[in-house]
Every structure is written in C-alpha cells, then in structure tokens.
Structure 1
Amino acid sequence: MNYSVTTKEFMLLAAKGPVEVLDLRDPDFVDSFDLLEGSHVTRIPLTQLPNRLSQLDKGKTYYLFTQFGGRSKTMAQFLRNEGFQVANVIGGTSAYEEYLAS
C-alpha cells in the first residue's frame, strides 16, 4: 500500500466509494470537513491517539488528515507499526480545501 496520497489521489479514491478518514486535528482547529457522501470521519486528536487505538479497526484503511499533513505523516508511521492500514493525505485539510476551491 502507498503510505501517502495526494489530495487528488484521495479525491479519486473517495469518488469510487466510501473512505475512512481519521481527522487528527485538535478540537480547537476543527472546522467543517465535508467529504463525499457515504465516507466516514473519525475525529481523534493527535495527542490522544496512542490511548484510543481500540477505537480503530485494523481491517479498515484510514486516510489521515492534520491541518497541513506533516504531523499525520509521522502518526501514519506509528499506526503502521501498530498494525493499522493507513495513508497520509499530503498537505492535510489545507490542501483538501484548496483543491475543492480550484
């Protein structure tokens, strides 16, 4: 599995069917995050993630988002080491919003 995807690649995947998103932003920075219909967003602040792994399903692939994508890249490696299937979305929600605006 590719461990990082661009926003465009993510959008193409989401257009094919529902995706599992893991939003790692702190609650103070979370705004609306609209995805294509049927996709699911799980919100777990990055600082709480190591203690909340039981809320995730190792049988699913999660696409990780932070504001700019840097911290989610680091957390993607942590989650892979814990046996989860994950991909970092390069550029995070900033790139996603910019893509939607274009």
Structure 2
Amino acid sequence: MKKMNNSVTTKEFMSLAAKESVDVLDLRDPEFYDSFDLLKGSSVLQIPLTQLPNQLGQLNKGKTYYLFTQFGGRSKTMAQFLRDQGYQVINVIGGASAYQKYMAS
C-alpha cells in the first residue's frame, strides 16, 4: 500500500485494515460514534473535528492516522492541517458513510 498517498478509498482502507493494525482518527461528533468496533486489532481515537486543534497532544507523530468524518469532506481539510503540523495522516474518501455502505454490501 502506498503510504505517500494523501487519500485512500474505503476499499483500500478495508483491505489494509484486514492485514494489519491501523490507527483511525474518528473526527465525527459523538452522536455519530458507532461502527468502528468492527476493526478488530486497530486503535480508534475519537476526537470531534472542532476539538482537534486543542487536542493535538493526544496524537503521536510516529503513527499514520486514517481520518474519518461522516462523509469525508471535512477530513480532507483537516488532513492538510495535520500534515502542516507534522503528523502523518491519510484521508479515507467518503468517510464513515462510505464505510457503512461498504460493510453493508
């Protein structure tokens, strides 16, 4: 899997998560937290997008985080912000809604 890509599709993400433990950064608001318990062996850090700038201390610059928002749009913007701060992040295209559709198919 190409780590230099700034984004991956849900399918690429699921294929990677099936092979190795991944670090997920769930940026959705708390009322949307669900579904990611399906990723056995992976760690999911849940920080609402609006709180992230004040919570950067919870992130580890040695890890690569896969970012999820509800639909994937806002995570693209946040991914750029985090890269500018020196974090390694990959946006998951389509976010949690694409993930849920993928899991349902």
Partner of 2:29: 26
Alpha-carbon contact 2:35-2:100 (below 8 Å) kept: no
Q: Secondary structure at the match of 2:38?
A: coil
2:87 to 62, 84, 88: 84
- Show structure 2 runs of 5+ residues with no match: none
- CA displacement, residues 53-82 of structure 1 (integer Å, 9 cap, x when unaligned): 010000000000000000001000000000
1:58 to 52, 58, 61: 61
CA distance in 1, matches of 2:35, 2:15: 21
- Return the offset for 1:37: 1.4
- CA displacement, residues 32-66 of structure 1 (integer Å, 9 cap, x when unaligned): 42233100000000000000001000000000000
Q: Secondary structure at the match of 1:9?
A: helix
- Return the offset for 1:11: 0.5
Range that drifts further, 32-41 or 68-77: 32-41
CA distance in 2, matches of 1:49, 1:20: 16
TM-score by length of 1: 0.96
1:12 to 15, 20, 23: 15
Q: Which amino acid aligns with 1:99?
A: Y
Alpha-carbon contact 2:63-2:88 (below 8 Å) kept: yes
CA distance in 1, matches of 2:37, 2:5: 24
- Show structure 1 runs of 5+ residues with no match: none
CA distance in 2, matches of 1:73, 1:35: 23
Q: Secondary structure at the match of 1:41?
A: strand
TM-score by length of 2: 0.93
Matched, 1:68 2:71: yes
Q: Which amino acid aligns with 1:95?
A: A
